[in-house]
Amino acid sequence: MDNNLNHLTEMRKYIMFACTLLLLAGCSKNEIIIYGSTPENEESGHGESSNDSEALVTFSASLESRKVTRSMSPMPKGLVSQVYAFKTADSNFRDPLAEGLYNTSSAGLLTGLNGYKMFLSNGTYNMYAFSKNSSTYPPTITNGVSAPLKNGVDYLWWENLQQDVMASQIHMPIVFQHVASQVVIDLSAGEGLKLDSLVSATILPPTPGASLDLRTGIIEATTTYDTTPLNMGKKGLLAQAIVLPTRATSPMSITLKVLADGETTPRTYTADIPIPNKLAGGFSYVFSAIIDGNSVSFPNVSIKDWTEVDESGNPIYPIQK
């Protein structure tokens, strides 16, 4: 009987030991799920290994008139933006903690491309966004500086500094600002001339290749002009072009082709637009142009709200008078 009792005692010890191992194994698995799991998204952006909970960050987007009325309108459907999240201590902009491409799936609503979702650990972040206000990808950002930029592109930028992330989900409204410059020509006829239509307009824009500083939203200004003409969008007797900022002191060349006085052959006019010391980023410069006989004059320039354009660069509606 003693042998049987000893045998039962040993069996109980073995069973208790086995149960203990199973319990420990179960606890380890739960710790991995709680602390080590990531959302079902290979591109989720939590740059640090932490036991802090992660927050899903969602975005909406609108465009702001930067310099005049500061009115806002939802970002249209089908436009692409790049969103960046940096730790506030990252002053060199070398390694964003998270970054992702987004598309406006409907007006004002941003959805990550290819299922991307941004997740951030609890903390404080500097947030930025960059867009070409189009369906194409924005230029790449390296160490906080963009790849070379071009004329004819409506670059948009946004920042949100010292953003606290302390919840399981947070929504951030992105309010984009225009950071390129806009040149608008408001054409009219002088005495004794009847303008029938504007056939075309081209300018020699600032030299391309400038870069944007992501931390400031400023595109470095050039001091020279390109030798390749840039076609301006047109509507009625209104023409517009989006160009890179410039500090050039010389005038900007423009060529206009118009139909006048019932003629069927366009008249061609070449003139110099007097630049008011600079074309600054975020400003829309409206030049009044008067065709009088064989010349074009520019009696005044003013700053107006940004003239919205379609995908071809044609103004959607006239400027505010």
Does residue 263 sit in the same domain as residue 159?
A: no
Distances (CA, A) of 177 to 11, 62, 128, 142, 295: 75, 9, 12, 21, 36
Number of independent structural domains in the chain = 3
What are 197-249's pLDDT values in tens digits? 999 999 999 999 999 999 999 999 999 999 999 999 999 999 999 999 999 98
Tens of pLDDT along the chain (321 residues) come to 544 444 444 555 444 434 433 333 333 322 212 222 333 333 334 433 333 578 999 999 998 765 555 567 889 999 999 999 999 988 788 889 999 999 999 989 999 999 999 999 999 999 999 999 999 999 999 999 999 999 999 999 999 999 999 888 999 999 999 999 999 999 999 988 999 999 999 999 999 999 999 999 999 999 999 999 999 999 999 999 999 999 998 999 999 999 999 999 999 999 999 999 899 999 999 999 999 888 999 999 999 888 777 766 677 655 544
Boundary-marking domain end, from 150, 178, 206 = 178
CA geometry: angle 276, 281, 282, nearest 5 deg: 105
Does residue 65 sit in the same domain as residue 171?
A: yes
CA geometry: angle 305, 194, 265, nearest 5 deg: 105
Sign of the Cα pseudo-torsion (157, 162, 163, 165, in order): positive
Does residue 265 sit in the same domain as residue 154?
A: no
Residue 315 is assigned to a structural domain of this protein? no
Domain that holds residue 28: 1-37
Residue 46 is assigned to a structural domain of this protein? no
What are 12-52's pLDDT values in tens digits? 544 443 443 333 333 332 221 222 233 333 333 443 333 35
Does residue 83 sit in the same domain as residue 152?
A: yes
